[in-house]
A and B are shown apart, each in its own frame.
Chain A
Amino acid sequence: MGARPVKVSQLNNYINRVLGTDPILGNVSVIGEISNLKFHNSGHVFFSLKDESSKVSCFLASGNLQKITTPLEEGLEIIATGYISVYERGGYYSLNIRDIQANGAGQLAQRFEELKRKLEKEGLFAAEHKQELPAFPEKIAVVTSPTGAAVQDITRTIKNKNDYVDILVCPVLVQGPGAPEDIAKAIDFLNASHSDIDIIITGRGGGSIEELWAFNEEIVARSIYHSKIPVISAVGHETDFTIADFVADVRAATPTAAAELAVPDTNQLREYIDSIRKDLSKDLAGAVDIRRKRLTSLDPEAFARGIQSRIAYEQVNAERLMQSMADHLSHRTLSLRDRVAMLGKLLEASNPTSILTRGYSVVYVGNGMIINRVSGLEPGDMLNIKTADGEADAKITDVKGSVNHG
């Protein structure tokens, strides 16, 4: 028991109202690939967004198109933001777009990381596999676009630095469909039929990640890896790192840097070998000179002169030695004499006879003993008194002991 039948326009009007008031459909972002892209004369853009199994019509008003920076192209994966609107007269709905972002960067970054991991695991970046660049290359191949800035930068830089090396430019596509195959084929071809090439430089000037993408493709990485000729990668600017950079024998920051790395400065080389040549002459002259001096020293006359001067020297030396010994001895004698005089004065100070000159006398008893006490002395004992200038004999007339004498 359905509801009352409605007219087609009523149905579409109802759907329009339902969808138009849905909060999700009023502001939705959709990821999909552009197809059936049509730029209408009015300035509006019509296309479909699709994925593997489904698609949705899209409408981009000319006013909104002005604000969008992503260049729209067929097959590009984008994120479109807008709202769902219903075309009541046609009975279909579409995505009315306000803004578009390229989904490429995220996708590419992921592919880059995946391939990098895979090739790293396989050993394509291994340091052991890196080949050394020859010091003096004869011939360099440049695999790049014949019309790009890179080929100009490389040939100009090489020519400025080196007037010897030959340059072979191998023109290839460096972006867009077929570019990776083109680059890989050129590297393989050079290895197969130009074995006289010493170094391959492959690369291109700066660009967006999409423009540099060929150098992130596996086929390019593998042909660089298999190249018997050393490969320098030179893609974009310093900050751009590609898979080719990781697998190349040498990574150059820019095409100009690659050219700098690849060749020696021939003028410096000329100066260098000239300087060695000068050294050769100087050193040979030096070797002769050393021998001439040695020969001169073996000349008998010179030898005699040498001996005489040696003798004279030894004589002077001996005299100097003797003088210094004499000086030393006399210095010692002098100081000994001083010491003797000083000791004499000391002795003199403690000489007992010197006391006598100051008025003291020494008294001896008859047996020759010096008297230092009265006990034992008797009146009538004979004494001998010694003074500074002579002596006198005397006799004791009385003996008086001290009070405490016992």
Chain B
Amino acid sequence: MDEKKISFEESLKKLEEASEKLKSQETSLEEAIQYYEEGIQYFKECNEILDNASQKIETLTKQEA
């Protein structure tokens, strides 16, 4: 669970980074393609997490607490 959480925030951050780097003027064409592919990968990861959203609403029983 914890791992997954890191992965959404991390994936989003990586996605933003890839996009930033791709925008940079100094990026070579090879790098640009690499950043694009990375970005798409992170986009897919983020999207997957959001698409698999299956919100649960539970109530603890008194005995548990």
Complex formed: what's the CA distance from A266 to B12 in Å?
13
Name A194's closest neighbour in chain B (CB-CB).
Answer: B60
8 Å CB contacts to A: which residues of B1-48? Answer: 1-2, 4-5, 8-9, 12, 15-16, 18-19, 22-23, 27, 29, 32-33, 35-36, 39-40, 43, 46-47
* Stretch from A124-132, A165-173, A366-374 forming part of the interface with B: A165-173
On chain B, the residues within 8 Å of A164 by CB distance are 49-50, 53, 55
On chain A, the residues within 8 Å of B4 by CB distance are 138
Complex formed: what's the CA distance from A198 to B60 in Å?
16
B65 touches A189 (CB 8 A): yes
On chain B, the residues within 8 Å of A138 by CB distance are 1, 4-5
Name B7's closest neighbour in chain A (CB-CB).
Answer: A136
Name B4's closest neighbour in chain A (CB-CB).
Answer: A138
Complex formed: what's the CA distance from A172 to B60 in Å?
10
Name B62's closest neighbour in chain A (CB-CB).
Answer: A171
On chain B, the residues within 8 Å of A167 by CB distance are 55-58
Complex formed: what's the CA distance from A74 to B59 in Å?
34
* Stretch from A112-120, A276-284, A347-355 forming part of the interface with B: A276-284
Smallest beta-carbon distance B6→chain A, Å? 10
Interface of B is mostly: helix
On chain A, the residues within 8 Å of B57 by CB distance are 155, 159, 166-167, 169
On chain B, the residues within 8 Å of A185 by CB distance are 65
Contact of B29 among A165, A279, A287 (CB under 8 A): A287
Complex formed: what's the CA distance from A165 to B53 in Å?
8
B53 touches A163 (CB 8 A): yes
Name A159's closest neighbour in chain B (CB-CB).
Answer: B55
B59 touches A280 (CB 8 A): no
Complex formed: what's the CA distance from A283 to B32 in Å?
9
Complex formed: what's the CA distance from A288 to B62 in Å?
62
A207 CB–B CB distance under 8 Å: no
Complex formed: what's the CA distance from A295 to B1 in Å?
50
A280 touches B60 (CB 8 A): no
A-B contact count (CB 8 A): 102
- Chain A: interface residue count, which band? 35 or more
B58 touches A280 (CB 8 A): no
B1 touches A168 (CB 8 A): no
B59 touches A146 (CB 8 A): yes
B40 touches A280 (CB 8 A): yes
Name B1's closest neighbour in chain A (CB-CB).
Answer: A196
A284 touches B36 (CB 8 A): yes
B22 touches A288 (CB 8 A): no
A276 touches B60 (CB 8 A): no
Chain A 125-148 interface mask (CB, 8 Å, partner B; 1/0): 000000000111111000000100
A392 CB–B CB distance under 8 Å: no
Complex formed: what's the CA distance from A15 to B15 in Å?
91
A279 touches B19 (CB 8 A): yes
On chain B, the residues within 8 Å of A336 by CB distance are none
Residues A273 and B43 in contact in the complex (CB < 8 Å), given A138-B1, A163-B53, A169-B59: yes
From A165, A185, A186, A284, name the one whose CB has the most chain B CB atoms within 10 angstroms: A284
A291 CB–B CB distance under 8 Å: yes
Residues A288 and B43 in contact in the complex (CB < 8 Å), given A134-B5, A164-B53, A169-B60: no
B39 touches A169 (CB 8 A): no
A269 CB–B CB distance under 8 Å: yes
On chain A, the residues within 8 Å of B40 by CB distance are 277, 280
Smallest beta-carbon distance A179→chain B, Å? 14
Residue contacts A-B, CB under 8 angstroms, 10 given: A136-B5, A136-B12, A166-B56, A166-B58, A169-B60, A196-B2, A269-B50, A273-B43, A280-B43, A287-B32
Known: A138-B5, A166-B57. 7 other contacts (CB 8 A): A146-B59, A170-B59, A269-B50, A276-B16, A277-B39, A277-B40, A283-B23
- Give me the interface of A with B, judged by CB distance under 8 Å: 134-139, 146, 155, 159, 162-172, 185-186, 189, 196, 198, 266, 269-270, 273, 276-277, 279-281, 283-284, 287-288, 291
| A-B CB proximity, top 5 nearest | A164-B53, A287-B32, A169-B59, A284-B36, A280-B39
